[in-house]
Amino acid sequence: MRILETMRETFWVLALAVIVLFVFFVALGALSPSDAVWATAIVGLLTVAWIVHAIAEGRHRDRRDRGIRAARERRGF
């Protein structure tokens, strides 16, 4: 199960790298979004998927530190 989680997180990191690389080449002028319509569409879909993933991860993540909570319970607070 840990391997699947690692593979999933690796996919999202690589997706973000592709998005940033595409934006870099567009900003540099080496690539025109109108000339590479398919690449632009794929990166656009990947961007939307990454944003949805980031929002979902942010909502499901426990924002409290488990170590602080365990220390508080150990002290009786």
For the whole prediction, is pTM greater than 0.85?
A: no
Task: Decide if pLDDT at 76 tops 70.
Answer: no
- The pLDDT-based confidence of 62 (bands split at 50, 70, 90) is low
Q: How far is CA 60 from CA 33, 53, 64, in A?
A: 35, 11, 12
List the domain boundaries for the chain: 2-75
Q: Measured between alpha carbons, how far is 10 from 69 in angstroms, rounded to an integer?
A: 30
Q: Which residue has the higher pLDDT, 72 or 40?
A: 40
Say if residues 22 and 43 touch (Cβ distance below 8 Å). yes
Specify the higher pLDDT residue, 63 or 41: 41
